[in-house]
Amino acid sequence: MQVFCTNCGKALRADMKLCPYCGKLVRQQSRRSAPQRPQRPSAPVSRTADTRPQQTSAHRPHRTQQTHPTPQAPVRAKRQILPPHVMRIVYRVLTVLVVLVGIYTATYIVQVYRVKSAVYPFKTHMKLTYTSYGQAFDEYFDDGSWSVNPFNITCTYKGKSNHSEDYKIVFSAGVRIKVKSMTVDEKEIDKKIFEQKLLGMFI
């Protein structure tokens, strides 16, 4: 069994009674283990250290994100060109004009169709090539146009003949279709020779 000095802690032989290192008397030891070295005191905990438990993301209070409404530009009021009562009058006038245009268009179509489908009551027994004003005028005139006057219920045809004569024939489009007047090269034609002029167009 190894013996240690009780004063300096050096290892000695079992038969030694005096420590050769420190000169002290060696006491008899039944069994002695090596002396333990004194432990250094641990460093004191700093008081300034934060000992509070840290909050994790799970324990942190949730901050709601505040959304600020975006400012909107002020809506400008529409400027009216005319006052409301004037606008109502204009609307009524336009409505009347549209109705009149519709009536004139319908009258024009009906009256022109009636005149073009009619025929002059010739007193001759000659066989006619054409059986209506529309057919005769299409062949006799190079170009022509129709117009309708709904106030005096007349229908007018203007055209240039194959002989370069300017015709203006006015029809009365009442209950019966009649030739009211005829002008050739701005000269009024007598009603007595209407049949003669028109007969040349139909044969």
Residue 67 belongs to some domain of the structure: no
Residue 73 belongs to some domain of the structure: no
pLDDT at residue 6, as a whole number: 82
pLDDT at residue 32, as a whole number: 46
Q: CB–CB of 157/171 below 8 Å? A: yes
Residue 89 belongs to some domain of the structure: no
CB contact burial 155-165 (16+ within 10 A = b; e otherwise): bbbbbebeeee
For the chain, the domain total comes to: 2
Q: Model-level pTM greater than 0.85? A: no
Residue 51 belongs to some domain of the structure: no
Range of the domain at 139: 117-202
pLDDT at residue 92, as a whole number: 93
Residue 16 belongs to some domain of the structure: yes
Residue 174 belongs to some domain of the structure: yes
pLDDT at residue 134, as a whole number: 92
Residue 134 belongs to some domain of the structure: yes
Residue 138 belongs to some domain of the structure: yes
Tokens 């062949």, residue located: 139
Q: What is the residue-level pLDDT of the chain in tens, covering all 203 positions?
A: 677 888 888 887 778 778 888 878 877 654 444 455 545 555 555 555 455 555 555 555 555 556 666 666 666 666 667 788 888 899 999 999 999 999 989 989 999 999 999 988 888 888 888 989 999 999 999 888 999 998 899 999 999 998 889 999 999 998 899 999 999 999 999 988 888 889 888 88
Token pair, residue 59, equals 């324990």
pLDDT at residue 79, as a whole number: 67
